[in-house]
Amino acid sequence: MDINKLLGLPDLASQHGADVDKLIVYVHYLMLALFVGWAAYFLLALLKFRKGKNPKADYAGVTGHASNYLELAVAVIEIVLLVGFAVPLWARVVDEFPKPEDNPINVQITAQQFNWMARYPGKDGKFGKQDIKYVTGENPLGLYQKDATAKANDPEGADDVNTSAGAEMVVPINQPVIAHISSLDVIHSFKVTPLRVTQDAIPGLRIPIHFKATKTNLFQINCAQLCGNGHYNMKGWIRVASSNEFVTWLQAKAGASQGFE
């Protein structure tokens, strides 16, 4: 029996997601044990203290220590789940980011009512400069390369690849990805269920997350925060492709345009 399917867990498409699912399964095992244990205790109490067997109320009640031991055992199991699984998983996801020698793919993902935009560095591996004074309707990210009045020359941004709002973004399979999440207006939340990643997109902050996709497919990006009257329709798409397909896609985007599509 596949416990993941029994619990209705969605398809898994990331490396760290296996630990997330494992923790969910262990928590459900504990919940099942608690349900069976307390249900049995409840039935035992109904049988042992029924009126036919105890015509006169016993105000002393249960005097043993069995329930105390059970409660202690539950607390110990919860501590094991927390210290042994939840905390290490959190540390790996939050603190142990890919190192430069891992050759991670960097991408900036920006939310805006009600869509998503992605930005990739060019061959130099560096993102171009941004400044709030250059933000306009045509240049929502405030890119130097998109503003004719920008005085400073920014060669680092000349080869950046920027996808338009709502356009498909692509990442390679089996390669670490560091995504920097932000927002242009209100609080959104970047959520891709098969990749087991969720991160709030907060205006003024660029919050990094990382993952390694393990399946090629097209996955839907959802917003997990109520962000306005178009929240229900705030969807995006992230495609996990082979390394060659990703390079081809990136080169095509870089060759087609240095700005938004």
Domain that holds residue 30: 3-94
- 83 lies in the same domain as 115: no
Structural domain ending residue among the three candidates 94, 116, 139: 94
Say what the pTM is.
0.79
For residue range 3-12, list pLDDT tens digits in order.
777 778 889 9
Q: Residue 261: inside a domain, yes or no?
A: no
Among 235, 132, 239, 146, CA closest to 191: 235
Q: How many domains does the chain have?
A: 2
Please report, as a single letter, which amino acid is at residue 117.
M
Contact 161, 250 (CB under 8 A): yes
Same domain? 44 vs 137? no
Per-residue pLDDT of 169-211, as tens digits, reads 999 999 999 999 999 999 999 999 999 999 999 998 999 999 9
Q: Do the domain assignments include residue 99?
A: no
Taking the CB of residue 80, how many other CB atoms lie within 10 A of it?
13
Helix intervals (H) in 86-143: 87-94
* pLDDT at position 236: 92
CATH of the domain at 202: 2.60.40.420
Q: Which of 94, 124, 159 is the endpoint of a domain?
A: 94
Number of other residues whose CB lies within 10 A of the CB of residue 71? 10
* 30 plus 156 within the same structural domain: no
What are 25-80's pLDDT values in tens digits? 888 888 898 899 889 888 988 888 777 777 777 676 666 666 778 788 888 888 98
One domain for residues 175 and 133 = yes
Look up the CATH number of the domain holding residue 69.
Answer: 1.10.287
Same domain, 130 and 194: yes
153 pLDDT higher than 80: no
